[in-house]
Amino acid sequence: MGYLSTSQRNGIKESNFAFFSRRFNWCNASDNYGKVIACASFLTEIYMAYEVQQPGKEKEVTALICKIDWVPKSKDGHTFGYKDMSESCGPCQTRCPERILKLLTPTEDKYAQDWRKECWDNIQKAKERPRFKPDDIIEFASPIGFTNGTKYTRFKVEMVHPKLRLIPEGEYWYAKLTWKFIKEHTYKVNPHKVPAPTTHYPLKDTLELQPGSDASLVTNLSDPIGEANKLPDGICASPLCFLKGELHEYNRKKGTPRHRFDPVRPL
């Protein structure tokens, strides 16, 4: 079975719930009906709780799964395609969220039972997944080797969603470590501590730098950038916190590339 494509969503701001309700809802004179009661959307798939009332039967709620295909530059104008299936078909898409699964009524269909079990297993795995935040430090009990011959034990969390990105300490490249790999190894997490706000002193307590002074005394730059590293007249910096915005602006006017300046921390 292929995809059903349509051009009805072109230029129309409509939710997936509203669109599929128009497509799948039905009723007859005997008060029997079928309707979408909940919807959860992902980039390539949509999960729906579908309520059905049939003659002589109790109300039943089953799951519908739609694979999604967006083709924005379709020549015939059919930019949105979907392929719908029931949970009894045993679909491979098993990212159904908990709020949809809780709405489903018990079923005796083996394929549907297996599909629901796999979805619940994935939800449990997600709950057991370690919770990282950007700038956290992950320290493994033993060094992790890589294909370039290097080994590291400490990694900085650069990004968590939509994809986990870890950077070995002191490096700039991303380490390709999956959630499964991390769970199979012993590690500890050193949470990132937000530094306390720096106290800004009055102007009379600041350290005025004379023209031509070496800004590295304030910025602790390990890679000086020549003349842009000289502060112009009138710029002064606190001995505890470097006013990096002024130097950024000075560099921009001088046409020099921007650098990341780290403020000097209190002793």
Sites in the chain below the pLDDT cut of 50: 201-209, 213-267
Residue 54, pLDDT score: 85
Residue 48, pLDDT score: 95
Nearest to 201 by CA among 150, 243, 260: 243
CA distance 61 to 243: 61
- Total-model pTM: 0.57
Place of tokens 């400490």: 154
Q: Tokens in use for 205? A: 């307590």
Residue 218, pLDDT score: 45
Q: Check if the beta carbon of residue 66 is closer than 8 Å to that of residue 86.
A: no
CA distance 136 to 68: 36
CA distance 228 to 237: 16
Residue 199, pLDDT score: 54
Any idea where the domains of the chain sit in the sequence? 4-128, 137-190, 203-254
Phi-psi region of 89 (alpha: psi -120 to 50; beta: other; left: phi over 0): alpha
Residue 195, pLDDT score: 63
Q: In the chain, how many H helices and how many E strands?
A: 6, 12
Residue 110, pLDDT score: 94
Residue 1, pLDDT score: 63
Residue 254, pLDDT score: 45
Residue 55, pLDDT score: 82
